[in-house]
Amino acid sequence: MSAASSGVSLDPRTSARARAWAEGDVDDDDRAALLALLDRAEHETGDDAARAAAEVASAVDGHLEFGTAGLRGALGPGSNRMNRAVVVRAAAGLASHLHRVAAPADPEAGPPMCVIGHDARHGSAQFARDTAAVMTAAGVRALLLPRPLPTPVLAFAVRHLDADAGVMVTASHNPPQDNGYKVYLGGRCTPGGGVGADGDDAPGRGAQIVPPADAQIAADIAAQPPAREVPRAEKGWSVLGGDVLEAYLNGASALPGPPPSDGHRSALRVVLTPVHGVGGAVVIEALRRAGVTDVAVVPEQADPDPAFPTTAFPNPEEPGVLDLALALARRRDAHLVIAVDPDADRCAVAVPDASREGGWRALTGDELGAVLGEHVASGGLAGGRDLRRHDGDAVLACSLVSSSLLGRIAAAHRLGHAETLTGFKWISRAPRLVFGYEEAIGYCVAPQLVRDKDGVSAAVVVAALAAQLQAQGRTLLDVLDDLALAHGVHATGQVSFRVEDLSLIDAAMARLREQPPAELAGRVVERVDDLSEGSPETTGVPATDGLRWTLHGGGRVVVRPSGTEPKLKCYLEVVVPVAGSDLGSARALADGQLGDLGAAVRDLLAL
């Protein structure tokens, strides 16, 4: 009995697609695995055949979509998975784009140049070598980073080397079975090129791709032949030495200013976890150069391990991921816990807090964003004493789903503030940017170094700030108290709805557009912004599928479909002024109002 006779029909077109993909694959193991799966679907019986048929269809009925995050998906054979054949065709498409855009921009500058990095996930090193081989065969100058390194090092290299493009093979904090392919553009692929006479970068130089480049590259990829027919050089690319990493470390470690002399090192005790990723050694060295030397690494999570044995979802925001680090911090009586995600572009921080169970508190992305934003705005970084510019204010930027507190901090320092779409591909493009963050623990404290979120430089800055505060008998929590007294308590949270049927999200968004709420949790909805209209006069951001409701008293709700998961996400904020210096009452009131607002949003959506 075949799959068809067991109740599962394997479409002949699916079988043909699977055989065609296998024939064009460049990896013998992937080819054999896909053909074996197809054989099971066509010749086995019962549930085994049905499962095999479903796997074949999932693998080849469609293509892994190339978008503004590049590629990301589960490893495995087939057009809809991350594998060598998909990477070879993606590299060939990107090479075509570079020849079409970069070479005509300045023919005398020579062939396009692409720098390539990778993390330590399954397949990452091979995918990076395949990319270098394809680029070289296509006449693109390919520069390969020497070993697994954090994503911020690759993003830095694109700017430092004035490359036309960069590729980072990583799935960031995704589960172990995933991998990805992140693309940056720079040099001649950036409108306006290089750095202007006033010191400002051209928009997006060294940043992740955005429309229309993503669609153009996707079209170039779709035009490529089967992977086996794509030329690949056996040699000819360059493997970079340690100069790029050295330059990055020098830049990141210098952000807080000169470290204390050897006889007066920081007394700050830090616990660090790289969550089985590639950031550990780089963060430790950056901290050392900045004068923070008492750093203990969580031994169970210290070394790169693509299996991520201590966590199924290696995101420092996820419950349980920081447990080992907090346990070590208690044993060492540490002052600060720092976690970076596996490719070290995100940073999480926890601090001692006697009022919390377990004696420690993890700061939210909004809280750390406010602390870092205040530090930058106050001139706390090297060379940042006067952020006012002759051509306008320096700008603090955050995503539209992040707290409004950053805007108040910017106004208090007479600086500019920008809200952008979610994702650092947008935040990093804010004009005159000096600091940017998003609530999902992403921070850009040094846009002159890296036009992306950077967990390494964020770790350096927050550790140096914590050490400075410690010398004054203060902590990061005292900074949060200062901000609350000055600007009110800004409490933020999130309500998410995961669905099996994506049409439920479309229907919910349509219903909310037709009938927006007049009030939520007793607060009048004073303003409704439909973010799909994209009017800069009313929303300040380009068009996106989302709604924003501004509440009386300063709170707000942003509702948007997730771009990566089958979820409808609702971002909540309430703002409570502090009467006198009674922070405790204000925080209790804010927590209660935030809970009420979350309950009201759940009732409204009813998903």
Domain layout of the chain by residue ranges: 12-60, 71-240, 249-483, 488-605
Residue among 172, 109, 232, 73 at smallest CA distance from 565: 73
CB 441 within 8 A of CB 317: yes
Q: Which tops the pLDDT comparison, 293 or 66? A: 293
Among candidate residues 493, 485, 445, the one with its CA nearest the CA of residue 598: 493
- 127 close to 117: Cβ distance less than 8 angstroms: no
Does residue 378 register a pLDDT over 60? yes
Alpha helices in 393-442, H assignment, sequence order: 405-412, 424-427
Q: What gap in Å lies between CA 291 and CA 264, rounded to an integer? A: 9
pLDDT band at 554 (very low <50, low <70, confident <90, very high): confident
Using pLDDT thresholds of 50, 70 and 90, give the confidence band for residue 542.
Answer: confident
- Quote the percentage of the chain above a pLDDT of 90: 83
Is it true that 249-483 and 488-605 share their CATH fold?
no
C-alpha angle with apex 186: 181 to 189, nearest 5 degrees?
100
Alpha carbon distance 296, 269 (integer Å): 8
pLDDT of 231 over the 60 cut:
yes
pLDDT of residue 107: 82
Is the pLDDT assigned to residue 420 strictly greater than 60?
A: yes
- 176-211 pLDDT, tens per residue? 999 999 999 999 998 765 444 334 566 689 999 998
Q: Are strands 433-438 and 395-399 parallel, antiparallel or unpaired?
A: parallel
Q: 487 pLDDT exceeds 90?
A: yes
DSSP E strands in 121-198: the ranges are 141-144, 165-169, 178-185
Please tell me the predicted confidence (pLDDT) of residue 198: 38
- State the amino acid at position 116 in one-letter form: I
User: How many residues comprise the chain?
Assistant: 607
Say which residues have a Cβ less than 8 Å from residue 5's Cβ, sequence separation at least 6.
45
pTM of the model: 0.94
CA angle 526, 530, 535 (to 5 degrees): 105
Would you say 248 and 153 are in contact if contact means Cβ atoms under 8 Å apart? yes
If you search the block for the tokens 């976890």, which residue do you land on? 273
User: How many whole angstroms separate alpha carbon 52 and alpha carbon 41?
Assistant: 5
pLDDT above 80 (res 385): no
Quick one: tokens of 365?
Answer: 């992305």
CB 345 within 8 A of CB 151: yes
Mean pLDDT lowest among 34-43, 212-221, 497-506, 582-591: 497-506
DSSP 8-state code for residue 205 = T
Report the range of poorest mean pLDDT among 115-124, 224-233, 496-505: 496-505
**Cα angle for residues 372, 401, 157 (degrees, 5° grid):** 55
Q: Which residue has the higher pLDDT, 458 or 70?
A: 458
Over residues 26-44, mean pLDDT: 95
More confident residue, 270 or 42: 270
* Residue matched to tokens 């935030």: 594
Average pLDDT over residues 127-146: 98
The architecture CATH gives domain 249-483: 3-Layer(aba) Sandwich (3.40)
Q: Is 241 exposed, middle or buried (0-12, 13-18, 19+ CB in 10 A)?
A: exposed
Q: What is the pLDDT of residue 562?
A: 84
Please tell me which residue in 79, 96, 172, 253 is annotated as part of the active site: 172
User: What local confidence, expressed as pLDDT, does residue 538 receive?
Assistant: 53
The H or E element that residue 465 is part of is helix 455-471
Q: What are phi and psi of 406, to 5 degrees?
A: -60, -35
Residue 550 has pLDDT above 80, yes or no: yes
Q: Does the annotation count 124 as an active-site position?
A: no
pLDDT value, residue 197: 35
Mean of per-residue pLDDT scores for the chain? 92
Overall average pLDDT of the 432-445 stretch = 96
Sign of CA dihedral 543, 548, 552, 554: negative
Residue 115 near residue 154, CB atoms below 8 Å: yes
* Residues contacting 150, CB < 8 A, separation 6+: 119, 277, 278, 279, 282, 340, 343, 344, 345, 455, 456
Q: Tell which residue, 286, 262, 261, has the closest CA to residue 272.
A: 286
Lowest mean pLDDT among 150-154, 173-177, 258-262, 295-299: 258-262
H-assigned helices in 170-279: 213-222, 243-253
Mean pLDDT of 362-379: 97
Q: How many other C-beta atoms are found inside a 10 Å radius of the C-beta of residue 483?
A: 21
d(C-alpha 501, C-alpha 522), whole Å: 32
Q: How many angstroms separate the first and last alpha carbons of the chain?
A: 41
pLDDT (mean) for 501-517: 94
Least confident of 11-25, 40-54, 111-125, 428-442: 40-54
User: pLDDT above 70 covers what percent of the chain?
Assistant: 92
The highest-confidence range among 189-203, 316-330, 375-389, by mean pLDDT, is: 316-330
The burial of 498, by beta-carbon neighbours within 10 Å (0-12 exposed, 13-18 middle, 19 or more buried), is given as exposed
Least Cα distance to 184 among 282, 97, 75 occurs for 97
CA–CA separation, 84 and 265 (whole Å): 48
**3-state DSSP assignment of residue 12:** helix
Task: Look at residue 393 in the predicted model and tell me its pLDDT.
Answer: 77
Q: Mean per-residue pLDDT for 519-538? A: 84
311, pLDDT greater than 90: yes
What average pLDDT does the segment 34-43 reach? 94
DSSP state of 202: P
Tally Cβ neighbours within 10 Å of residue 108.
4
* Structure confidence at residue 390 as a pLDDT band (50, 70, 90): very low
pLDDT of res. 491? 97
What are the E-state strand segments in 263-366? 269-273, 294-297, 336-340, 347-352, 360-362
Pick the closest to residue 457 from 207, 256, 204 (CA basis): 256
Dump pLDDT digits (tens) for 452-474: 999 999 999 999 999 999 999 99
Q: What is the DSSP string of 266-287?
A: ---EEEEE-TTSS-HHHHHHHH
C-alpha to C-alpha distance for 110 and 102, rounded to whole angstroms: 10
Q: Which CATH class is domain 71-240?
A: alpha beta
Q: What is the C-alpha separation between 30 and 21, in angstroms, rounded?
A: 10
What's the whole-number mean pLDDT along residues 377-387? 80
Residue 3 has pLDDT above 90, yes or no: no
Identify the band that residue 4 occupies on the pLDDT scale cut at 50, 70 and 90.
very low
* Distance of alpha carbon 150 from alpha carbon 155, whole angstroms: 9
State the pLDDT at residue 459: 98
Tell me the HSE value of 292 on the side-chain side, using a 13 A CA sphere: 33
The answer to whether residue 377 scores a pLDDT higher than 80 is: yes
Name the superfamily (CATH) of residues 488-605. Answer: Alpha-D-phosphohexomutase, C-terminal domain (3.30.310.50)
